[in-house]
Structure 1
Amino acid sequence: MKNLPVIDLIVIAVYLVGMILVGVYFSKKSKGSDQFTKAGGLIPGWAIGLSIYATFLSSNTFLGVPGKAFGSNWNAFVFSLSMPLAAWVASKFFVPFYRATGEVSAYTHLEHRFGPWARTYAVICFLLTQLARMGSIFFGIALSLQALTGLPMATVMIVTGLCIIIYTVMGGIEAVIWTEVVQGIIKTLGALLIIYLIVKGMPGGIDKIIEIGKAQDKFSLGSLSPDLTKSTFWVVLLYGFFINLNNFGMDQNYVQRYHAAKSSKAAASSIWLCVYLYVPASLLFFVIGSCLYAYYDVHPELLNAVKEQAALEKLGLSASLSDIKTLAANLKPADYGDKVMPHFMVTSIPTGLVGLIVSAILSAAMSTISSGMNSSATVFAEDIYKRYFNRNTTEKQKMRILYTGTIVFGLLGMAAGIAMIGAKSILDIWWELSGIFAAGMLGIFLLGIISKRTGNLQALIAAIIGLLVIIWLSLSPMMPEEYAGLRNPLHKSLTIVIGTLTIFLAGTFLSGKKRAAIKQGKPTDV
């Protein structure tokens, strides 16, 4: 087992204790459910913007993005380039809409618009998305800390998860937001420190990194061809726009923050602050991936341990040493990209600074997980418990449900992370699962806001059609060879695009068909 120096352990311990103390401080102010879920609507816009930025800048970014850039190129950065357009739509239409409704849940209005089924369907999609998000982030932090400490990944998830649960339960959304403000700053400084250390240890410095990157096409944003079967520039741009539209418009993590702001103007400005911070910050992590690629291209012998670890995970503990070495020699950078930065931290970062970097990675994980716990508990309390079990809950009952929900979803997130152990790419896992779960609720949401004449039945039929399309898009690639002609030919990142458009266009078509039939005096069932 590897052992971190005492000074690094102290730095990490101080950080974890500090986050718990933040929860203790805000527990004195969190006296009711409104304070727990909306912080009384008194948080300044700049703090909410930093909080949203920290939620975006999760350990999926901190570890997954450098791993992706190391294994391929900057194609995934196009996701960040799509954010300004999604932010414009959200600040102009979504923020005023949610502030006007006054509903803390992002999904209550769907019941007013289409009926209980729409609200329930969106809630299920959201909760599944949160479990996928929390699981991938738990997996990312465990991957890093296992390399540093040698502790089992499950143990790392449980220890960090319990710390997050404690301060999230105690402090509510206010503790989540203010800890994320601190965490956003820490993780940004951590990224800059990593770049500095890589460049410092690189023979030839920045010029050599650029030279190797250009030679290996590491700075490419992807092909500009209109090919929807591969991860081209346009495929990632479409995916990024739709998933960011879902984040800003339908994700309870963000909608809850709109209500915590002092005004609609402050809420809208928080979105733009997030964009202004996240786009250049995400670029930093692609730079880290390219720098690591150049560093190990100059020192290829340092990668042997990484490759053998990746081979061991693929073959299992019973594999022979010769089999492990044979597979390791044939692995491609994409097969072990997520493991490169943790390895660099173990072998190349000076004592004392490792603790700071680990704290930055912890902050990247904790900010998004704590936000996911709080928002999931809020949705469960508002959209499930109050809707189906007890409409007339007392304040004491509300708080009990919120506390219980936070703990339960935290534990489920840990379980999801443990289930992901052995996966190839953190970023690929998150992109695929989020696209599947988010497509349905975004389609219904847009149908409800844009198509004013779509009724309950038309929306239900459209949702069923969309769900069937999403299932086909997601599962058809696994069909046996004899049914290859029925497989989805499009890239998997387009699931959210096709699923959302299917629901929206089907609902719009059905409502138009009904109006035409009514004008002609014909009977209609839709």
Structure 2
Amino acid sequence: MSNLRVIDIAIIFLYLLSMIGVGLYFSRKNRTASQFTKASGKIPGWALGLSLYATFLSSNTFLGVPGKAFGTNWNSFTFSISMPLAAIAASRYFIPFYRKIGSVSAYTNLENRFGTWARTYAVVCFLLTQLARMGSIFFGIAISLQALTELSMSSIMIVMGICIIVYTVLGGIEAVIWTEVVQGVIKTFGAILILALILKDLPGGIKDVIDVGLREQKFSLGSFNANLSESTFWVVLLYGFFINLNNFGMDQNYVQRYHAAPSEKEARKSVWLCVYIYVPASLLFFFIGTSLFAYYQHHPEMLNHVREVAANEKLAAKSGQSIAEISRSLKPEDYGDKVMPNFMVNKIPSGLLGLIISAILSAAMSSISSSMNASATVFTEDIYKRYFKRDVNERQNIRILYIATVVFGIFGMGAGLAMIGVKSVLDIWWELSGIFAGGMLGLFLLGLISKSSKNTEAIIATLIGIFVILWMTFPSVIPERLAFLRSPFHKNMIIVVGTLSIFLAGTIMAKLRSQKVDHAID
């Protein structure tokens, strides 16, 4: 570990050891499935709110957002602006709904409304979403630590994965929530510290950032034109609203926390606390990205190594060109994810570096452990008990939860390994989450809002939605001579169009059936 001093290694080691210690402490309480999956409903709203904030603030935010702001602008911040709109729906409708039905699984209601297929379909979409999420987070943390160590990205993922699996299996949701409370504070402190160190080395401080940002249009939220084929302000706003609606309404990570609260009021408080903290925190990370852009304008020589690393990654795809030629052709968005790790290696003093790496690790660990626990819960409740063995005793239930947690942790690592080489960790996560979430949010809204829709309409509507999502996801499948049939929408519109396709198709068919019945009666 040539770029890390002994004190940094010691701090990181102590942090990882403390996380496993937390798991061991809470393992004494995990005697029942209820304790493992929803902490017996005894977590206060403020702790759940910080936990939700920490779940949102993954390493995708910690590394991907500054990289995105460095490479482009603040267009992606529009995602955060949409959060309060989704939170209104969550506090008014989703939380009372889930608290009323009582099931720890977010997908039980779909079986009650449309049958077994609907529940299973939503579960598969959710599990694929979580694998994509864990994979992107593993990949993000590996990018950072690779710049600081001599380890390969795959080795980093495996070591981190083992630590996360151990503490998640031992501690259950209560360990996840309380460590996320601490990790949320650590992450925020780490971000503020990084920003302070960047500004310290800028001759004009914040003024330099503002001047460069205005000159290079780095503060732009994107075009306000009504163009749905590009990443405009409206496209990202729509994407953010629908993905956050999915998060608050259908994501098991959030639904479990609604049940972990002692009351409906505390559950509502947790959602709004998350929003109140995350929106300004995400603004902080975008400002860090712009500050890094201003910093490298003053220190262009520091980009040489970043460009060389990015060029090496592209070398295989651009055979026939030298590293120097590829390096000169690179744009800021091609190496945005690598600039903050590069700054950390060169400019953060020993000791503080260990603390900041611990903050990045906490961002990864909290999000991955939350996904692992939620995935294990969904698998146990919606697949194992539904299709393999309905009547399980408490001991068997806990054993299945443990095994499922380990398996999904391993699968998450595998997804991360498969992502090695992608250009932007934030882009790949947004694209994959939109694809998988779009297929289930529309069905959930159809069952919740359209009371007259029945099983047949839901099946047909879902098939229509899947076709639309595939059409938008794989435009290259359509031959060039039929290019006019390709999707004209930006990829972030997949969740929007997919959700509306299922919901509107099901609602319209239910309305037509109802009118036909009324006409027959008349």
Shift of 1:521: 1.6
Aligned-residue CA RMSD (Å): 1.3
Residues 300 and 450 of structure 1: CA distance in aligned 2, closer, same or farther (over 3 Å): same
Give 1:74's aligned residue.
74
CA distance in 2, matches of 1:467, 1:316: 34
Give 1:285's aligned residue.
285
1:452 is paired with a residue whose SS is coil
Give 2:404's aligned residue.
405
Letter in structure 1 aligned against 2:223: S
CA distance in 2, matches of 1:115, 1:485: 38
CA distance in 2, matches of 1:82, 1:422: 30
1:521 is paired with a residue whose SS is helix
TM-score (norm: length of structure 2): 0.98
Shift of 1:477: 4.2
Residues 475 and 319 of structure 1: CA distance in aligned 2, closer, same or farther (over 3 Å): closer
CA distance in 2, matches of 1:316, 1:3: 27
1:438 equivalenced with 2:437 (yes/no): yes
CA distance in 2, matches of 1:502, 1:300: 48
Give 1:484's aligned residue.
483
Cα deviation code 1:7-33 (max 9, x no counterpart): 000010011001110000000111110
Where does structure 1 lack aligned partners over 5 or more consecutive residues?
A: none
Give 2:518's aligned residue.
519
Contact 2:3-2:345 within 8 A present in 1 as well: no
CA distance in 2, matches of 1:176, 1:279: 22
Give 2:340's aligned residue.
341
Give 1:228's aligned residue.
228
Letter in structure 2 aligned against 1:381: T
CA distance in 2, matches of 1:37, 1:356: 31
CA distance in 2, matches of 1:141, 1:319: 28
Cα deviation code 1:42-97 (max 9, x no counterpart): 00000000000000000000000000000000000000000001001001000000
CA distance in 1, matches of 2:319, 2:341: 24
CA distance in 2, matches of 1:185, 1:481: 52
1:258 is paired with a residue whose SS is helix
CA distance in 1, matches of 2:60, 2:30: 30
Give 2:55's aligned residue.
55
CA distance in 1, matches of 2:67, 2:222: 16
Shift of 1:318: 11
1:27 equivalenced with 2:3 (yes/no): no
CA distance in 1, matches of 2:479, 2:358: 46
CA distance in 2, matches of 1:316, 1:492: 26
1:272 equivalenced with 2:262 (yes/no): no
Cα deviation code 1:341-381 (max 9, x no counterpart): 00000011111111011000000000100000000000000
Give 2:323's aligned residue.
324
CA distance in 2, matches of 1:55, 1:411: 20
CA distance in 1, matches of 2:71, 2:189: 24
Shift of 1:317: 11
Letter in structure 2 aligned against 1:189: F
Shift of 1:483: 2.9
2:474 is paired with a residue whose SS is helix
2:147 is paired with a residue whose SS is helix
Give 1:391's aligned residue.
390
Contact 1:239-1:496 within 8 A present in 2 as well: yes
Moved over 4 A (4+): 317-320
Question: Would you say how many aligned residue pairs link Structure 1 and Structure 2?
Answer: 522
CA distance in 2, matches of 1:480, 1:363: 46
2:453 is paired with a residue whose SS is coil
1:87 is paired with a residue whose SS is helix
1:40 equivalenced with 2:40 (yes/no): yes
Give 1:310's aligned residue.
310
Give 1:448's aligned residue.
447
Letter in structure 1 aligned against 2:96: P
CA distance in 1, matches of 2:166, 2:317: 35
Cα deviation code 1:258-314 (max 9, x no counterpart): 000010000011000000000000001000000000000111111011001101011
Percentage of matched positions with identical amino acids: 67
Where does structure 2 lack aligned partners over 5 or more consecutive residues?
A: none
Letter in structure 2 aligned against 1:58: S
CA distance in 2, matches of 1:67, 1:349: 18
Contact 2:466-2:498 within 8 A present in 1 as well: yes
CA distance in 1, matches of 2:481, 2:167: 53
Contact 1:477-1:488 within 8 A present in 2 as well: no
1:139 equivalenced with 2:139 (yes/no): yes
Shift of 1:482: 2.7
CA distance in 1, matches of 2:140, 2:209: 26
